[in-house]
Amino acid sequence: MTVRATVGPCWTRAQQAFTVTAMARMSPDDRREAIVGAALAVMLRQGIAATTVRDVAAEMGTSSGLVHHYFASMDDLLTAAFERAAGQDLQATVDAVSTGVGPVDRLALFLAAYGRTDQDGAMQLWLDAWAEAGRRPALQRASRRLNEAWQRLLADLVRDGAEAGVLTCDDPEATAWRLLSLLDGLALQMVAHRSSLDPHDVARWCREQAERDLSLPSGSLGQ
């Protein structure tokens, strides 16, 4: 039973009135960001395909008309919410990598950040985005752009290591795509099927494969 159902419709109307008043006091940019945040909350809870304008408006306690005022289509709103979440994950990894001492340490930090076992929500969002990309052009463009940004980050790390002479790689671009495919495939296997794969085993397999691909000694990318 929800709190709203417990206290009755009078409280609900009062809450909605408060929300509408609060939204009216926001700047247009802040209102837009609030709508994106509400959409993301719904997407994480019930999936991209099942998220509607009505759901987002209900999440905010406001009208569907407000959502339509700021977003021409549901595709645009879902894309903005996906870009916020996925972009924040990418930036967090960039920040983590920047603290590394040397190319190998930065690669280890990339793998640790990318393969965190507490990121089921993030991977579920990517799984939803890839599933919906064929039907939503804006979402497809965003997921492709962000996926390519992840690949460039990893390729640059590999290239830096090769130029520094601490690893061996003739084709950083292809190597980055192969490693990302392994990382994504195993992570999505766990999220989509709730498989019996042990997250620690998955992380170890990815580190070991990267070490083999880059001619690094065993254990170079962490334990």
Give residue-wise pLDDT tens across range 156-177. Answer: 999 999 999 999 999 999 999 9
Q: Would the CATH topology of 3-71 be identical to that of 75-213?
A: yes
Q: Measured at the alpha carbon of residue 115, what is the angle toward residues 109 and 117, in degrees to the nearest 5? A: 120
Question: Above 70 in pLDDT, residue 118?
Answer: no
Q: For residue 124, what pLDDT is reported?
A: 85
Listed as own residue / partner, the contacts of 11-18 with beta carbons closer than 8 Å and 24 or more positions apart are 15/61, 16/61, 16/62, 18/61
Q: What is the mean pLDDT of residues 120-143?
A: 88
Domain extents in the chain: 3-71, 75-213
Q: pTM of the prediction? A: 0.82
Q: For residue 15, what pLDDT is reported?
A: 41
Q: Which residue has the tokens 């804006």?
A: 138
Mean pLDDT, rounded, of the chain: 85
Q: For residue 16, what pLDDT is reported?
A: 45
Asked whether the beta carbons of 123 and 107 are under 8 A apart, the reply is: no
Return the CATH number of 75-213, one of 1.10.357.10, 1.10.150.120, 3.40.640.10, 3.40.50.970.
Answer: 1.10.357.10
| Level-2 CATH architecture, domain 3-71 | Orthogonal Bundle (1.10)
Instruction: Please report which confidence band the pLDDT of residue 189 belongs to, taking 50, 70 and 90 as the band edges.
Output: confident
Residues with Cβ within 8 Å of residue 166, at least 6 apart in sequence:
102, 103, 104
Question: Above 60 in pLDDT, residue 19?
Answer: no
* Per-residue tokens: 110: 């990339």
* Per-residue tokens: 5: 């159902």
Asked whether the beta carbons of 142 and 133 are under 8 A apart, the reply is: no
Question: Above 80 in pLDDT, residue 133?
Answer: yes
Question: Above 80 in pLDDT, residue 192?
Answer: no
Q: What is the mean pLDDT of residues 146-154?
A: 96
